[in-house]
Amino acid sequence: MEERETEKLFEIISIIKTKIKQFCTDWSIKGIIKKENQIRFSESQIDINKNWDEIKLELFLSQKRRTIEITLNDLRPFTIEKTLNNCKKLLNVAKLNINYKRLPEGPFAYNNAIKNKIYDKSVEQLGEKAIDLVEKATETSIKEGAKRVAGSFFYGGTLFHIENSIGLKGSYKRTRLNFRIRAFAEDMYSTGEALSCSTHLNHGFDAVGAGEEAGRICKQAKRGKKGDPGVYNIIIYPKVTTELQAPTPAIAMNLYVQKMGLAWLVGKRKGDQIANDIVSVWDDGTKEYGLRSAPFDDELVPSKKSLLIDNGTINQFFTNNSLSKKNEESTGNAGITMPKPTNTVFSTGEYTLEELMEISEKPTILITSTWYTRYQSYAPPAVLSSLPKDGMFLVKNKGKLLEPIRELRINSDHYHMLKNTTALGKDLKQVSTWLSTSENTVFAPFMLIEDIKMSTGTK
């Protein structure tokens, strides 16, 4: 980040502080300097190369627990003045926010070692090498069997700085690499998709490997036939968990959402069984190279690794300071008024993908990708359907043969899927998918889920 931009940020923060101290009892200012790039490509060519340069502020303002949150990226002096005057008027009319009590007092001890595990200078300096990576991944995918590819590559860095009315302040930088490639055969129905994401170029990031995987799946998916509806076991790729499994720990285990009644764990509490006992899930803001990792949350509470689901039972919901019970600590997931997930991390098992296919006893479908998950209701049990796309395979002969199939839809609910998760892969992969239901970053293994209804169109 250039010095003049950080100077400008602190200058604006200083102006805002002077004003808000006049009418706020509590406040927090989060300054963000984002410098990011994206290469979008399709038909194996670059469609557009984009570049963002943004300074913005996220303000939390409270006047005796009447609260408002506002995002300010219009940093012109008169806009700041007008906006803050307007906020003052809004707070005068606003009602008491029963979900907000106070900011945490501190002081806190931070694990600053995480800062080196989420920031990689070489990512910010990637420059034209980014295009080289896209080209190499494209070539590899085509070599594996694709006719053409499409995809997206985000790379860049962001500076975060937070200070609040308690007197706490802190800064950190985080870089992001998010590469996704989709391979198409001669027809547009045989496709494969793969992704790779990390904060560091040399840790867990492999664009070329993603290209190889997408091309391989695409080739395997050729000459697929319409699948037969019925009840199957499914084996899902890690990225499918962002649609099918991660919404429970990432959304429904948000204590705020629970209290709203807008989630499928309403009525559930600590100790209740909601998943098979092989499943444990953490919210982990300390995960090395995690896209959502940070030294602290929006309240400057140190990031934590919080066990949400413990061998299938609820251990805790994730919270911020205000929603935490009197004798319990925040899980470090602020959002000051509404908690938010960091990295959702699943437990692992003992199986490779091949071994999962071997042990699955009923007719089994291997699903590499899904999208457009929609709910009938967010209330329990959260009945949903989701559409597999890209290579989908009927597993035959214990996985020695994969028969490509198409046009099937997953119909299930979150309770059923978590309880019927009967085997887990042994390796975690970091995934962050396009417009996913869980919205955050997930570390997940391959999963075997039993007894899923698959349907198809009737005309």
Contact set for another protein, span 130-169 (CB under 8 A) = 131, 134-135, 148, 150-152
Range 160-219, binding another protein (CB under 8 A):
180-182, 184, 188-189, 193
Q: Which is nearer to another protein, 131 or 278 (CB)?
A: 131
**How many positions of this chain bind another protein (CB under 8 A)?**
92
Structure-block tokens of residue 80: 């700041």
Question: CA-based diameter of the chain, in Å?
Answer: 72
Give the shortest CB-47-to-another protein separation in angstroms: 6
Alpha helix segments (H runs only) across 232-340: 241-244, 247, 255-260
Collect all residues with Cβ–Cβ distance below 8 Å to 17 and sequence separation of at least 6: 27, 29, 163
Residues 98-117, interacting with another protein (CB under 8 A): 98
Q: Residue 447 Cβ, how far from another protein at the closest point, in Å?
A: 21
Provide the minimum distance between the beta carbon of 82 and another protein in the complex, in angstroms, as a whole number.
9
260 binds another protein (CB under 8 A): yes
Among residues 42, 273, 315, 348, which is the contact residue for another protein, using CB under 8 A?
A: 42
The Cα–Cα gap between 155 and 32 comes to 16
By the rule CB under 8 A, 47 interacts with another protein? yes
374, 396, 400, 401: residue in contact with another protein (rule CB under 8 A): 374
User: Interface with another protein includes 434 (CB under 8 A)?
Assistant: yes
Q: State which of residues 1, 32, 166, 262 lies at the interface with another protein (CB under 8 A).
A: 262
Query: Is 189 within 8 Å of 406 (Cβ atoms)?
Result: yes
Q: Collect all residues with Cβ–Cβ distance below 8 Å to 308 and sequence separation of at least 6.
A: 249, 253, 281, 282, 283, 314, 315, 316, 317, 318
* 128 vs 276: CA distance, rounded Å: 47
> Crossing angle for the helix pair 77-93 and 3-20, nearest 10 degrees?
40
CB of 113 to another protein, least distance (A): 31
Contacts of 437 (CB under 8 A, 6+ apart): 242, 243, 246, 247, 251, 373
Beta bridge partners of 130: none
Kind of pairing, strands 383-388 and 343-346? Answer: unpaired
**Structure tokens of 1?**
């980040």
Q: In the numeric block, which tokens belong to residue 216?
A: 């391989």
CB of 39 to another protein, least distance (A): 8
Question: Which residue type occupies 22?
Answer: Q
| Closest CB 324 distance from another protein, rounded Å | 18
Cross-strand pairs, 182:
150, 193
Tokens of 178: 């998010």
From CA 430, how far away is CA 443, in angstroms rounded? 4
Rounded Cα distance between 454 and 221, Å, is 18
Q: Which stretch binds another protein (CB under 8 A): 46-54, 158-166, 202-210, 294-302?
A: 46-54
113's CB contacts (< 8 A; 6+ apart) are none
Residues 308-367 within binding reach of another protein (CB under 8 A): 335, 337-338
Task: Tell me if 272 contacts another protein by CB under 8 A.
Answer: no
Find the binding residues for another protein in span 276-315 (CB under 8 A): none
Q: Which of 7, 64, 85, 89 contacts another protein by CB under 8 A?
A: 89
Kindly state the smallest distance separating residue 424's Cβ from another protein, in Å: 27
Q: Of 114 and 133, which CB lies nearer to another protein in the complex structure?
A: 133
Q: Does 269 bind another protein (CB under 8 A)?
A: no
The single residue among 19, 101, 389, 398 that binds another protein, judged by CB under 8 A, is 389
CA–CA dist 238, 249 (Å, integer): 15
435 in contact with another protein (CB under 8 A)? yes
In the Cβ-directed half-sphere of 102, how many Cα atoms lie within 13 Å? Answer: 7
Residue closer to another protein, measured from CB, 305 or 409: 409
What is the spatial distance between Cα 131 and Cα 44, in angstroms, rounded to a whole number?
Answer: 12
Query: Candidates 111-119, 346-354, 359-367, 434-442 — which segment interacts with another protein by CB under 8 A?
Result: 434-442
Per CB under 8 A, which region of 202-210, 277-285, 349-357, 374-382 contacts another protein? 374-382
Binding mask 48-87 for another protein (x = CB under 8 A): xxxxxxxxx----------xxxxxxxxxx--x---x----
| Neighbour tally for 383: CB within 10 Å | 18
Provide the minimum distance between the beta carbon of 248 and another protein in the complex, in angstroms, as a whole number.
13
Interface residue with another protein among 378, 393, 443, 446 (CB under 8 A) is 378
Query: Which of 6, 17, 25, 40 lies at the binding interface for another protein (CB under 8 A)?
Result: 40
